[in-house]
Structure formats: C-alpha cells, structure tokens
Amino acid sequence: MCWKSTVLGATYALAFSTAAALADSDGTVVAVSLWDKGEASLDNAGMVPGLMMSEHGDMSLATTGVTLSVTTVAAGEVTFNVTNDSDSIIHELLVIPVASTDTPMPYDEVSMRIDEDAAGALGEVPELEPGQTGSASFRLEPGQYLLVCNVAGHYPMGMWAILTVE
C-alpha cells in the first residue's frame, strides 16, 4: 500500500470518528466561516456604516464576513468549528454576550478593535492563517452573542454575526 493511500485512509477514519463523537455529544456544533474578498477587502475600512449591530447599514457593501451554519441554538455547551476561508488574510473569532443589538460595542478607533475586556468577551478561537481551522466550546446561557473577528479593522467592515441562544 502506498503512503498516500495510508494517509488518505487515516484522514477519512479521523473525519468519521470526529463526526461520530460530535453526534454523540450533548452539545451543539456551529460551523463558522470567516471570509473576505481578498487583499483589497480592507481598503475602504469603515465603509459599512455604524458600529451598532442593529444599525449596520447596507451589509451588501461588506467585504468581509462571518457566516454561521445556524443562527439559533439551544442553551448549553456550544462548540464553534471555525474555518478561515480567506486566501490571504488572518482572521479570528471572538464570542461576546450582548444585552441588546442597539448597544454599541466598546470599540477603540485607535486600535480599530473591540475592547475585549470591556465587552465581556467569553473567549476566542485565536488568529487563524488562511485555510486554517480551529475550535472552541462555551457553555452559553439564553441570549444573544456577537461572533466577531477582532483583528484590527475587520469588525467595522462587517466581519460579525449574531447567534441567538434559546
């Protein structure tokens, strides 16, 4: 048997055992895609008006984004399996509980990032190189959560999503 067949077989076995383990767990799994439209994605930083999630303007202008496999989950253990689908830009995923989407995040215009401590961030999947994956699990109570890439300038460019926990 050649080494490629052995590696491919082991990869498939790992994928199936991982899927089985997830199916047997008591938690919810949310697949997350962190994406952008290439190197020029951040050229017009601030193009998506407003930093309040309820008044975000025309999201069709966003050149970066966070796409979730589901937008509503049950309370309890939630695992985020994150893929950086960019060809060239590093991204991360931060999980922040929000009391209201009408309340602006504590955004620092100098660093072009959300103040993670002031926002009460629960944790993150740290910076991922293009094509890289990562995951993190959190015990989430009912409410709304901002899932955001907090790399400088990415949040105001539309790189966030809201997850509702019921």
pLDDT computed for residue 103 by the predictor: 84
Is the pLDDT higher at 62 or at 128?
Answer: 128
Residue ranges per domain, the chain? 27-165
Q: How many helices (H) and strands (E) does the chain have?
A: 2, 11
CATH architecture of 27-165: Sandwich (2.60)
Average pLDDT over residues 60-73: 87
pTM tops 0.95:
no
Start-to-end CA distance of the chain, whole Å, equals 50
Q: Does residue 26 sit in helix, strand or coil? A: coil
Band of pLDDT at residue 136, cut at 50, 70 and 90: very high
Is 31 a residue whose pLDDT tops 70? yes
Q: What is the DSSP string of 75-101?
A: SEEEEEEEEE--SS--EEEEEEEES-T
Average pLDDT over residues 100-120: 90
User: Cα dist. 131→40, 89, 94, 156 in Å?
Assistant: 18, 10, 18, 23
